[in-house]
Amino acid sequence: MKAVVTGGAGFIGSHLVEELIKKGIEVHVLDNMTAGNLSNVHPLAVIHTEDICSIEAKRIILKEKPDVVFHLAAQADVARSINDPKYDADVNINGTINMLEACREITLKKFIFASTSGVYGDLQKGLISEEDLTIPVSYYGLSKLTAESYIRLFNHLYGIPYTILRYGNVYGPRQTAKGEGGVVAVFLERLKKGMPLNIHGNGEQTRDFIYVKDIVQANIASIEGGNQHTVQISTTKSTSINQLLEILERIHPSKIEALHTSTRIGDIKHSCLDNKKARQILNWQPQFNILDGITETYNYSSKN
CA 281 – CA 224 distance, rounded (Å): 10
CA 113 – CA 123 distance, rounded (Å): 23
Angle of CA points 142, 143, 147, to nearest 5°:
115
Tell me the catalytic residues: 140
**3 state SS of 156:** helix
Residues paired with residue 20 on neighbouring β-strands, in sequence order: none
CA 189 – CA 150 distance, rounded (Å): 37
Angle of CA points 88, 89, 94, to nearest 5°:
125
**3 state SS of 261:** strand
Residues 178 and 281 sit within 8 Å (Cβ to Cβ): no
Angle of CA points 287, 23, 49, to nearest 5°:
100
Q: What is the DSSP string of 275-289?
A: -HHHHHHS-------
Helices (H), 133-281: 139-158, 183-192, 212-221, 241-251, 276-281
DSSP 265: T
Helices (H), 23-138: 55-64, 78-83, 85-89, 95-104
